[in-house]
Amino acid sequence: MSTMQFGVFTVGDVTTDPTTGTTPTEHERIKAMVAIARKAEEVGLDVFATGEHHNPPFVPSSPTTLLGHIAARTERIILSTATTLITTNDPVKIAEDFAMLQHLADGRVDLMLGRGNTGPVYPWFGQDIRQGLPLAIENYALLHRLWREDVVDWQGRFRTPLQGFTSTPRPLDGVPPFVWHGSIRSPEIAEQAAYYGDGFFANNIFWPKEHFMRLIGLYRERYAHYGHGTPEQAIVGLGGQVFMRRNSQDAVREFRPYFDNAPVYGHGPSLEEFTAETPLTVGSPQEVIDKTLTFRESFGDYQRQLFLMDHAGLPLKTVLEQLDILGEEVVPVLRREFASGRPAEVPAAPTHASLLARRDAEAGDPASVPATALT
Amino acid sequence: MNPLKLVAVSAGLGLPSSTRLLADRLAEAARSHLAGDHEVEVAVVDLRDLATDIANAMVAGFPGARLREAIQVVTDADGLIAVTPIFNASYSGLFKSFFDVIDNTALAGKPVLIAATGGSARHSLALEHAMRPLFAYLRAIVVPTAVYAASEDWGTGGDASTDALAGRVDRAARELAGLVAGRPASAALAVEEVLVPFEQQLAALRP
pLDDT, tens digit, 9 for 90 and up, residues A124-136: 999 999 999 999 9
User: Looking at residue A356, what is its pLDDT?
Assistant: 96
Mean pLDDT, residues B193-198? 80
**HEC profile of A259-278:** HHCCCCCCCCCCHHHHHHHC
Mean pLDDT, residues A63-70? 98
- pLDDT band of A2, cuts 50, 70, 90: low
CB contact under 8 A, B59 and A155: no
Mean pLDDT, residues A353-369? 79
Q: What is the DSSP letter of B127?
A: I
Beta bridge partners of B115: B83, B147
- pLDDT band of B162, cuts 50, 70, 90: confident
Number of compact structural domains in chain B = 1
Q: Give the up-direction half-sphere exposure of residue A45: CA atoms within 13 A in the CB hemisphere.
A: 31
User: Looking at residue A370, what is its pLDDT?
Assistant: 46
- In the predicted model, is pLDDT for residue A218 greater than 80? yes
Mean pLDDT, residues B92-100? 98
Mean pLDDT, residues A153-163? 96
CB contact under 8 A, B60 and A274: yes
Instruction: Name the packing angle between helices A331-339 and A285-299 (round to 10°).
Output: 30
- In the predicted model, is pLDDT for residue A292 greater than 80? yes
- In the predicted model, is pLDDT for residue A372 greater than 80? no
Kind plus residue range of the DSSP H or E element containing B187? none
- In the predicted model, is pLDDT for residue B163 greater than 60? yes
User: Looking at residue A364, what is its pLDDT?
Assistant: 65
Residue B165's domain spans which residues? 4-203
User: Looking at residue B187, what is its pLDDT?
Assistant: 53
Q: Give chain A positions within 8 Å (CB) of B206.
A: 374-375
CB contact under 8 A, B199 and A372: yes
DSSP E strands: which ranges in chain B?
Answer: 4-10, 40-46, 79-87, 90-91, 111-118, 141-142, 147-150
Q: What percent of chain A has pLDDT over 90?
A: 90
Q: How far apart are alpha carbons B61 and B47 in whole angstroms?
A: 18
Tell me, what amino acid is at A100?
M
Closest Cβ–Cβ partner in A137, A269, A374 for B60: A269
DSSP code string of A116-178:
---TTHHHHTT--GGGHHHHHHHHHHHHHHHTT-SSEEE--SSS--EEEE--SSPPGGG-PPE
- In the predicted model, is pLDDT for residue B1 greater than 80? no
Q: In degrees rounded to 5, what are phi and psi of residue B115?
A: -150, 160
Mean pLDDT of chain A: 94
Interface test with B, best of A195, A220, A241, A259 (most B CBs within 10 A): A195
Mean pLDDT, residues A105-118? 95
This prediction's pTM: 0.89
Q: Which of the residue ranges A14-18, A113-117, B69-73 would you say has the lowest mean pLDDT? A: A113-117
Looking up residue B140, the CATH number of its domain turns out to be 3.40.50.360
Tell me, what amino acid is at A366?
P
Kind plus residue range of the DSSP H or E element containing A18? none
Q: Give chain A positions within 8 Å (CB) of B203.
A: 372
Q: How far apart are alpha carbons A358 and A364 in whole angstroms?
A: 12
Q: What percent of chain B has pLDDT over 70?
A: 95
User: Looking at residue A42, what is its pLDDT?
Assistant: 98
Give yes or no for A187 touching B (CB within 8 A).
yes
User: Looking at residue A374, what is its pLDDT?
Assistant: 42
CATH, range A5-361: 3.20.20.30
User: Looking at residue A366, what is its pLDDT?
Assistant: 53
User: Looking at residue B193, what is its pLDDT?
Assistant: 58
Beta bridge partners of A49: A9, A80
- Looking at chain A, how many residues does it have? 375
- pLDDT tens string A262-284: 988 889 999 999 999 999 999 99
